[in-house]
Chain A
Amino acid sequence: MATIEVLGKTLELDADGHLARLTDWNEEVAQHLAAQEGIPELTEQHWAVLRYMRSVFEKEGDAPSIRRLTKESGVDTKTLYQLFPKGPAKRAAKIAGLPKPKGCI
């Protein structure tokens, strides 16, 4: 199984390269994952998206759709794509320490 090193700790990854365990995630890990995805600094808006995605995942077992994300997190579609330019669905879930979203929307 693939792993990454963050601050001296070895974290396991799933087949898609996302964190294998929800509990391995914290703010330092998120910064590290963001840097890997080409986002040098996480702003307050990034955090709003990441925290919202994690809260939905903890309750429902899957990341929210983009439509719901933009309606409920307070970050609109245009901003969301600026925050995660290489595709918000996969990238934001990866940085949030969640598995790849299952939904199509």
Chain B
Amino acid sequence: MTAQTTLQTQAATTAPPQPIERVSIVVSRGSLDGVYPGLILANGARMEGIEATLFFTFFGLDAILKKRQDHLKVATVGNPALHMPTLLGALPGISALATAKMKKEMEKLDIPPVGEFLTMIHDAGCGIYACRATVDMFHLKPADFIDEMDAVISVGQFYEKAAGGQILFT
């Protein structure tokens, strides 16, 4: 290593880390536990004065569909962290039960239901976008979406909006 690169390395390690100024959060899953982390990250960013954008794609789009957003469920099959036998998880009503319990615990922590949370996040100045490819694939119409959805955008437009910030995929 030359003297110059050593100096550069030292400068890089001693400079204080730059605070995060913008985040773009991708929500790709449609289960309750798949959607909330992205919403909490977006809301938390705005609370800290960080610019935030939410981009919903694939089944994550359910969170911004009027008829679906307040009926998201916890997956009880294929979810080993629930510590529940797979066959039990598959029984009718088990997913609804786990969902009701989780919603109750969230309410205790003052975490709002998905619809109310998205209104709050949008009012806080976070952009809410839907993925063009998914909208076309599922044949969705503008009327299917909540009023807070700002626009249906392509992946290219997503990157334009994310310029200069961090991208989080959830």
Contacts and interface: CB of A to CB of B under 8 A. Distances in A.
Interface residues of A, number: 19
Looking at A70, A81, A86, A91, the one whose CB has the most chain B CB atoms below 10 A away is A81
Interface in B9-66: 40, 43-44, 46-50
A105 B120 CA distance: 11
A77 B40 contact: no
B109 A105 contact: yes
A23 B49 CA distance: 27
For the residues of A in contact with B, the DSSP-based class is helix
A87 B46 contact: yes
Contacts of B50: 87
A76 B123 contact: yes
Nearest to A85: B49
Contacts of A91: 49
B170 to A, nearest CB: 15
B111 interface: yes
A17 B98 CA distance: 42
A33 B111 CA distance: 30
B142 interface: no
B81 to A, nearest CB: 20
Contacts of A9: none
A59 interface: no
Interface string A70-105: 100000111001000111111100000000000111
Contact of A105 (B43, B48, B49, B125): B43
Interface of B: 40, 43-44, 46-50, 109-112, 120, 123-125
